[in-house]
C-alpha cells in the first residue's frame, strides 16, 4: 500500500469522523465522561487552529482522567489516531487505531463499527500487522451497511496476507463477480489475490484460468508475458501456433524471456517467415536465416506471381508479408488465398486477415474476423482466444478504473 495515498485518504476521512464523534455522543447514550468530553473538545479546538502539539496534549489529558469508561477510551483512541495521521506518524496512528478496533464490540455503537474497523484495517495493513488486519477485515465485512468495493478489496488483501487463503479467495471472487454484474471492471487486487490463493492451495489450473481473466480484463504487457510464456508449453501446439503467439507477443509488447524468443524465432526460420525471426532476435531470439535478404528482395515478384498461384502459395505469402510488416499486403494476399480455396489449413487465411487487420488498427474488423474462426484443436483455440482478447481490448478498452 502506498503510504502517501493512505495518509491523504485518512486525513480527509478519519479526522472528520473522530471530531464529529465528540459532539454526536453528547445527544444520546452512551455518553462520554464529562472530563473526557472537555479534553476532547479542547483537542478539537486546538486542531482547528492547526496546533497539533496542543491537540495531542489535550488527548493525553483525556487519557489521564480517572474513572474512564471503555467508550471513553474508544473515542480517545479514535481521535488520537486521526491526529497522528495528520501529523504523518502512521506508527502512532496504528497503535491508536488498533486499540480502537480491539474494543469490545458491545461497547461500539453499530453506526460507528464500520469506521472503527475500516480505520483499523487500513492502519494494520500499512503497519504490516497482518494478523490484526485479517481480524478487522472480517469485522468490517460484518458491519451494516456493507463496505464499498475498495474496502472489500482491501479486506480480501488483508485476509490473504493473514494466511486465510480460503477466506481471501472466497471474498475476492465475490468482489469480482459483483463488479462484473454491475458492469464495472474488477479491482486488479482481487484477481491477484484470487490467483495467489489458488497457487497457495496448489490449484495451478484454476490459477492459470484467473491469469487468463486478467489478460482479458487489463491487456497489460506484464500479464501477457506471464500467460504467453505458459501458453508456449501447452500440449498440441502447431508450428503456426507458435508463430501466432510470437506475433501476439510483439503486438502486446510483452517483455518475454530470451528462451521464449528462441522458440518463436527458430520456428519462424523453419517456416520461412524471416521477418518474424528478425523481430524475435530483438528480444533474444536467433538470427534470421541467411535467405532473408533474398526473400525480402523478391517480395514484389512473389506478390505478382500470387495471381496465378493457388491458395496455399498465397496464404504462405501472406504470412511472410505480415512478418515483414506489410500488413495491408498480407491481408490482400490472405483474401486472395480464400478465393483460391485450396489452402491446406482452412483457418489460416482468416487468421492472417484478422491479425493483419489488427496490425492496421482495424480492431473491430479484426475482432469480427477472429470470432468467425473455428480452431482445429484446443491449443489452437487458446491462441485464437488470446488474440480475441487483445483485439477486443484495443477496439474498446475498459474505461473503469482498476485500482
- Domain boundary residue, one of 147, 170, 190: 147
Q: Residue for cell digits 495491408?
A: 328
Whether 337 and 234 map to the same domain: the answer is yes
- C-alpha to C-alpha distance for 14 and 85, rounded to whole angstroms: 9
Closest by alpha carbon to 234, among 128, 133, 98, 382? 382
What was the pLDDT predicted at 149? 85
Q: Could you write out the DSSP letters of every residue in 220-267?
A: -HHHHHHHHHHHTT-TT--HHHHHHHHHHHHHHT----HHHHHHHHHH
Confidence check: pLDDT of 110 > 50: yes
What was the pLDDT predicted at 146? 81
- C-alpha to C-alpha distance for 317 and 274, rounded to whole angstroms: 12
Whether 258 and 389 map to the same domain: the answer is yes
Backbone angles phi, psi at 375, to 5 degrees: -70, 150
- Look at residue 163 and tell me if it is in a domain: no
- Look at residue 328 and tell me if it is in a domain: yes
Backbone angles phi, psi at 108, to 5 degrees: -85, 120
Whether 230 and 377 map to the same domain: the answer is yes
pLDDT tens-digit readout, 148-201: 888 999 999 999 999 999 999 999 999 999 999 999 999 999 999 999 999 999
269 with 289: CB under 8 angstroms?
yes
Confidence check: pLDDT of 252 > 90: yes
CATH number, domain containing residue 106: 1.25.40
Q: Between residues 7 and 64, which one has the greater pLDDT?
A: 64
- Domain boundary residue, one of 116, 147, 178: 147
CA distances (Å), 372 to each of 197, 347, 369, in order?
Answer: 36, 10, 5
- b/e for 156-166, b at 16 or more Cβ within 10 A? bbbbbbbebbe
What was the pLDDT predicted at 147? 84
Contacts 24+ apart (CB under 8 A), 353-359: 354/387, 354/391, 355/244, 355/247, 355/251, 355/322, 355/387, 356/318, 356/322, 356/327, 356/328, 356/330, 356/331, 357/331, 358/251, 358/387, 358/390, 358/391, 358/394, 359/251, 359/322, 359/327
- DSSP annotation of 33 reads P
Write down the pTM of the prediction: 0.77
Q: Between residues 395 and 299, which one has the greater pLDDT?
A: 299
What was the pLDDT predicted at 12? 36
- Look at residue 266 and tell me if it is in a domain: yes
Altogether, the residues listed in the chain come to a count of: 403
- Look at residue 187 and tell me if it is in a domain: no
Confidence check: pLDDT of 323 > 70: yes
C-alpha grid cell for residue 286? 536467433
3-state secondary structure 88-143: CCHHHHHHHHHHHHCCCCCCCCHHHHHHHHHHHHHHHHHCCCHHHHHHHHHHHHCC
Could you give the angle at the alpha carbon of 126 between the alpha carbons of 120 and 132, nearest 5°?
A: 45
Mean pLDDT in residue range 67-93 = 94
pLDDT confidence of 363, banded at 50, 70, 90?
very high
Q: Is the peptide bond before 30 cis (omega within 30 degrees of 0)?
A: yes
- C-alpha to C-alpha distance for 345 and 208, rounded to whole angstroms: 29
- Look at residue 161 and tell me if it is in a domain: no
Residue-range definition of the domain harbouring residue 271: 226-395
Q: Residue for cell digits 495531542?
A: 56
- Look at residue 386 and tell me if it is in a domain: yes
How many structural domains are present in the chain?
Answer: 2
Could you give the angle at the alpha carbon of 56 between the alpha carbons of 53 and 57, nearest 5°?
A: 85
Average pLDDT along the chain: 90
pLDDT tens-digit readout, 2-61: 333 333 333 333 433 443 444 344 346 688 999 999 999 999 999 999 998 999 999 999
Mean pLDDT in residue range 242-248 = 97
- Look at residue 157 and tell me if it is in a domain: no
Confidence check: pLDDT of 397 > 80: no
Whether 89 and 235 map to the same domain: the answer is no
- Look at residue 188 and tell me if it is in a domain: no
- Domain boundary residue, one of 82, 115, 147: 147
Closest by alpha carbon to 283, among 322, 235, 228? 228
Whether 254 and 346 map to the same domain: the answer is yes
Amino acid at each position: 500500500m502506498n503510504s502517501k495515498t493512505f495518509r491523504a485518504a485518512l486525513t480527509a476521512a478519519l479526522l472528520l469522523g473522530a471530531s464529529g464523534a465528540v459532539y454526536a455522543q453528547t445527544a444520546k447514550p452512551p455518553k462520554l465522561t464529562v472530563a473526557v468530553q472537555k479534553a476532547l473538545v479542547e483537542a478539537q479546538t486546538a486542531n482547528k487552529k492547526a496546533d497539533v502539539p496542543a491537540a495531542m496534549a489535550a488527548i493525553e489529558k483525556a487519557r489521564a482522567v480517572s474513572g474512564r469508561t471503555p467508550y471513553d477510551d474508544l473515542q480517545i483512541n479514535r481521535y488520537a489516531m486521526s491526529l497522528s495521521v495528520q501529523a504523518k506518524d502512521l506508527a502512532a496512528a496504528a497503535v491508536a487505531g488498533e486499540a480502537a478496533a480491539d474494543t469490545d464490540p458491545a461497547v461500539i455503537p453499530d453506526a460507528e463499527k464500520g469506521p472503527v474497523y475500516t480505520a483499523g484495517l487500513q492502519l494494520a495493513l500499512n503497519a504490516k500487522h497482518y494478523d490484526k488486519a485479517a481480524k478487522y477485515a472480517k469485522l468490517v465485512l460484518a458491519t451494516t451497511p456493507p463496505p464499498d468495493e475498495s474496502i472489500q478489496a482491501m479486506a480480501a488483501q488483508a485476509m490473504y496476507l493473514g494466511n486465510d487463503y480460503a477466506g481471501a479467495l472466497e471474498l475476492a471472487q465475490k468482489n469480482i463477480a459483483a463488479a462484473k454484474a454491475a458492469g464495472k471492471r474488477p479491482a486488479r487486487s482481487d484477481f491477484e489475490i484470487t490467483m495467489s490463493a489458488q497457487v497457495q492451495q496448489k490449484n495451478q489450473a484454476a490459477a492459470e484460468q484467473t491469469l487468463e481473466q486478467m489478460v482479458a480484463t487489463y491487456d497489460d504487457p506484464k500479464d501477457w508475458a506471464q500467460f504467453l510464456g505458459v501458453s508456449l508449453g501447452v500440449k498440441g501446439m502447431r508450428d503456426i501456433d507458435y508463430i501466432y503467439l510470437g506475433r501476439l507477443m510483439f503486438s502486446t509488447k510483452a517483455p518475454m524471456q530470451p528462451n521464449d524468443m528462441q522458440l518463436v524465432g527458430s520456428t519462424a526460420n523453419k517456416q520461412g517467415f524471416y521477418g518474424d525471426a528478425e523481430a524475435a532476435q530483438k528480444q533474444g531470439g536467433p538470427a534470421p536465416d541467411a535467405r532473408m535478404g533474398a526473400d525480402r528482395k523478391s517480395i514484389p515478384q512473389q506478390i505478382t506471381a500470387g495471381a496465378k498461384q493457388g491458395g496455399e502459395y498465397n496464404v504462405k505469402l501472406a504470412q511472410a508479408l505480415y512478418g515483414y510488416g506489410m500488413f495491408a499486403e498480407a491481408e490482400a494476399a490472405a483474401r486472395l488465398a480464400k478465393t483460391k480455396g485450396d489452402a491446406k489449413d482452412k483457418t489460416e487465411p482468416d487468421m492472417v486477415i484478422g491479425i493483419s487487420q489488427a496490425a492496421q488498427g482495424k480492431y473491430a474488423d479484426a475482432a469480427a474476423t477472429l470470432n468467425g474462426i473455428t480452431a482445429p484443436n484446443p491449443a489452437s483455440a487458446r491462441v485464437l482466444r488470446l488474440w480475441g482478447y487483445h483485439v477486443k481490448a484495443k477496439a474498446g478498452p475498459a474505461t473503469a478504473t482498476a485500482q
